[in-house]
């Protein structure tokens, strides 16, 4: 459990651990995520100009994740400069998962910047578009948003792994499982 008195560094490491858990490592090989993006490591979307070896190590994936998450923190600070601590990390996680551009133009950001409780708005962001253009509602993504809500509210944060234990049973439907594939 993480208490409301947890340090920023403890919360940062919890967020990193959570990303590693829900993104997975895929043996260090590149794969296509459910939305159809070529991905490697712990959720790093491969840009057209990036070249990676056939496989990356856990250490390389960790460095890449921390670089990506630090970028997400800077984006969250840019679009919601009043955020600190757990709230900043929750929004940074959202930016990591959904993209900083989506956060910038979102009602979620508007509510947060106006000091209005964003709980219901976080929950609206549990969909993704498949490469075929179909919008899919994902229980898995909803559970991730619930984690962000807990982090944002810095409420008796459940242990990362215990909170997500039920995802394979209630979360990912067969279409999501079948689409997440290695290259």
Give the domain CATH number at 50.
Answer: 1.10.530.40
Tell me if 130 sits within 8 A of 34, measured CB to CB. Answer: yes
pLDDT band of 179, cuts 50, 70, 90: very low
Q: Is residue 137 part of a domain?
A: yes
Distance CA 84, CA 76 (A): 10
Going 60 to 100 to 138 to 113, the CA torsion angle's sign is positive
Distance CA 163, CA 136 (A): 23
Instruction: Domain count for the chain, please give it.
Output: 1
Give the number of other CB atoms < 10 A from CB of residue 10: 12
Give the number of other CB atoms < 10 A from CB of residue 9: 8
**Half-sphere exposure in the Cβ direction for 160 (13 Å, CA):** 14
Greater pLDDT, 127 or 120: 120
pLDDT tens profile 30-79:
999 888 889 999 999 999 999 999 899 999 999 999 999 999 999 999 99
Catalogue the E-assigned strands of 26-147: 31-32, 38-40, 44-45, 127-129, 135-137
- Over range 158-181, report the average pLDDT: 41
Tell me if 148 sits within 8 A of 90, measured CB to CB. Answer: yes
Q: Is residue 157 part of a domain?
A: yes
Question: Can you give the pTM of this predicted structure?
Answer: 0.83
Among left, alpha and beta (phi > 0; psi -120 to 50; other), residue 107 is alpha
Which pairing describes strands 31-32 and 135-137: parallel, antiparallel, or unpaired?
Answer: unpaired
Q: Is residue 2 part of a domain?
A: no
pLDDT band of 169, cuts 50, 70, 90: very low
Average pLDDT for the chain: 85
Would the pLDDT of 161 be above 60? no
Q: Is residue 49 part of a domain?
A: yes
Token code pair at residue 179: 């689409």
Q: Which domain holds residue 109?
A: 8-182
CA dihedral angle for residue 161, residue 123, residue 99, residue 173, rounded to 10 degrees: 60
Q: Is residue 3 part of a domain?
A: no
Token code pair at residue 102: 């989506």
């Amino acid at each position: 459990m993480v208490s409301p008195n947890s340090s920023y560094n403890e919360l940062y490491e919890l967020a990193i651990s959570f990303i590693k858990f829900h993104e997975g490592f895929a043996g260090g090989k590149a794969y296509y995520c459910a939305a159809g993006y070529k991905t490697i490591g712990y959720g790093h979307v491969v840009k057209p100009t990036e070249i990676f070896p056939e496989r990356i190590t856990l250490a390389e994936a960790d460095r890449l994740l921390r670089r990506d998450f630090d970028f997400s923190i800077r984006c969250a600070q840019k679009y919601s400069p009043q955020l600190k601590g757990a709230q900043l990390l929750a929004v940074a996680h959202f930016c990591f998962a959904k993209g900083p551009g989506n956060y910038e133009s979102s009602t979620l950001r508007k509510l947060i910047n106006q000091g209005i409780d964003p709980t219901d708005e976080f929950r609206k962001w549990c969909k993704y578009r498949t490469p075929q253009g179909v919008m899919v509602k994902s229980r898995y993504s909803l559970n991730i948003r619930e984690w962000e809500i807990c982090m944002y509210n810095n409420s008796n944060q459940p242990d990362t792994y215990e909170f997500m234990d039920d995802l394979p049973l209630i979360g990912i439907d067969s279409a999501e499982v079948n689409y997440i594939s290695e290259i």
